[in-house]
Amino acid sequence: MPQEKSFDAYLDELKTHGFTVVEGVVQSEALARIRKATYAQIANLDPPPPATDDRFGVPDGIAWSEDVCRAVTHPMALALIRAYLGTEEIHFCHQPAMTVLRPAKALIGQYPESGWHSDYPYHPDVYPDDRWEDEAVYGVQFNICIDPFRRDNAGTQYVPGSHANKRFPPRALNEGGTRMGRPPHEAVQQMLAPAGAALIYDSRMWHRASPELNVSGQDRLAILNAVCPNWVRAMVDKKPGTERFLSSGMSDQLPASVCDEINRLCHTPNQAAPASAPVILEKPAGPRRIAI
């Protein structure tokens, strides 16, 4: 059974640690349907995704799964995010991204360099260096575990409390590979959560995907969402995803409350930025690591 916590307890944990796990966001029957629908989409990807040692995105989840739509509009999770960001006017900075982490093979026993980062908008080519000391928070990551996040299937590595450093990860974290428990990675832990839970954390938190740690022999699925105040520019052009959603007929299958949230989060144009807001730059052109 999901752990019972009050809204205030979750919010206090998020404010104190920059990270909380909300269990029971997706129920077991819906998880099974999401997995089935995801693999049906994977079968149509061209070129086919790698079988091992990598991760990839399966786009347009809100256009092919009612359960994905319900998951990313979970009322408790969104209420926590709105409270933490201090605004009702939030949006997703890319369309919800179903991401598949393949089992490790060649990577087993290896220590790949790099990968440590903070999430959007706290990117070095996007966020101004002189605004890290702002008291306001401009981003939250909202990741939904379709499969459990465990130590043996590459639960995301992170440095607890690192969001409070108010800076991008130092270069040393991305050199020499990550060996948990040894400097400079002595404080590194893994984000662990059951299937159906949401990992909600401050976007400034230092973290990395760790594909070399997926020794489970199985895929691990998650839905990734970068959430910001509505005035923050999107990471990518969301219009193609909006067009695919509108042409899918999915909105006719959704309750009005879910459809309204999808429209607010995924399809609403940006508002004007407050006069005191940092200037969020457009990311330089170039290939993305994962399609979102």
pLDDT (average), residues 215-223: 98
Q: Is residue 61 part of a domain?
A: yes
Q: What is the pLDDT of residue 290?
A: 61
Residue 262's H or E segment, with its range, is helix 256-262
Is-contact 141 119, C-beta < 8 A? yes
The mean pLDDT value of the chain amounts to 95
d(CA 247, CA 227) in angstroms, rounded, equals 24
In a domain, 208, yes or no: yes
CA 284 to chain centroid: 21
pLDDT at 245 over 60: yes
Burial class of residue 256, CB neighbours in 10 A (0-12, 13-18, 19+) = exposed
C-alpha distance across the termini of the chain, in Å: 32
Can you tell me the distance from the alpha carbon of 219 to that of 51, in angstroms, rounded to the nearest whole number?
Answer: 9
Distance CA 184, CA 208 (A): 14
Total domains, the chain: 1
- For residue 185, pLDDT over 60 is answered with yes
Q: Which of 133, 14, 22 is nearest to 72 (CA)?
A: 22
Measure the CA angle with vertex 56, ends 50 and 62; round to 5°. Answer: 135
**278 within some domain:** no
The answer to the question of residue 281 being in a domain is no
Instruction: Give the list of residues 6+ apart from residue 16 with CB closer than 8 angstroms, or none.
Output: none
Residue 282 domain flag? no
What CATH number is given to the structural domain containing 134? 2.60.120.620
pLDDT (tens digit per residue) in 46-73:
999 999 999 999 999 999 999 999 999 9
Q: Does 277 reside within a domain?
A: no
Residue 190 has pLDDT above 90, yes or no: yes
Q: How many helical (H) and strand (E) elements, i.e. helices and strands, does the chain have?
A: 7, 11
pTM, rounded to two decimals? 0.95
Q: Which domain holds residue 212?
A: 7-267
Question: Which contiguous run of DSSP H or E holds residue 34?
Answer: helix 28-42
Q: Does residue 288 lie within any of the structural domains? A: no
Contacts of 149 (CB under 8 A, 6+ apart): 155, 156, 190, 191, 192, 193, 197, 199, 220, 222
Question: Does 274 map to a domain?
Answer: no
DSSP 3-state of 199 = strand
